[in-house]
Amino acid sequence: MPTCGTKFYSYENGDWTKLYAENFTDEQKQKIETSLKKAVDESGFKAEQTWGEQIEDRDSQITFSALGQKAPLEPKKGWDPDFKKRKEIKLLLEKMIPEFAINLGGATSIDVTKPGIDKAYGMHKLEEVLKISISEMLFLGDALFEGGNDHPAKTTGVDCIQVRDPEDTKIIIQTIITCQK
């Protein structure tokens, strides 16, 4: 379920099959990208150095990464550790594109999706496809706070574990697997 639950793939017999993708239209993508650029300019939080593209079109989600998609972890950690910069950009975006959902994720990113198409939506789709209840699931995320891109999953009632980064996630998953043996 990449892109905040806006897409869902299943893996069977060595192949990936798309179950759904809640994609934007070309017009919606253009409006979101233009608004992201404008909000960043108006906020005054334009990064001095970037690594790769800042705006990534993932068809069903547009992601803004303040330092670029390929930024090293250390500069990312220092850019907006208290989320103040992204919260200000988010407030500007909510006025510009109120018809979309805007959430914070990772260390420098802002995700834009269709409203209601989020990780909670994805969790319920997972429940439907796998035939397991939310109470049997465990969700790991770094942005479980209100306004974070993982928060919608938390609203489903799923048990959640706050993680710091991919390495933290890896350790927790390895621990869970080890305890299951």
The CB-based long-range contact list for 79-88 (8 Å cut-off, 24+ gap) reads: 79/47, 79/107, 79/108, 80/45, 80/107, 80/108, 81/107, 85/43, 85/45, 86/110, 87/147, 88/43, 88/45
Q: Which positions ≥6 away from 65 have C-beta within 8 Å?
A: 52, 53, 54, 55, 56, 71, 106, 108, 109
Residue 26 known to bind ligand? no
**Is residue 118 marked as binding?**
no
* CA-CA-CA-CA torsion sign (97, 43, 23, 152): negative
* Residue 164 labelled as part of a binding site: no
Question: Is 153 in contact with 141 (CB distance < 8 Å)?
Answer: yes
From residue 123, how far is each of 66, 85, 160 by CA, in Å? 28, 29, 12
Q: Per the annotation, does 15 bind a ligand?
A: no
Binding residue numbers for Mg(2+): 142
Binding residue numbers for alpha-D-mannose 1-phosphate: 58, 109, 111
Binding residue numbers: 58, 109, 111, 142
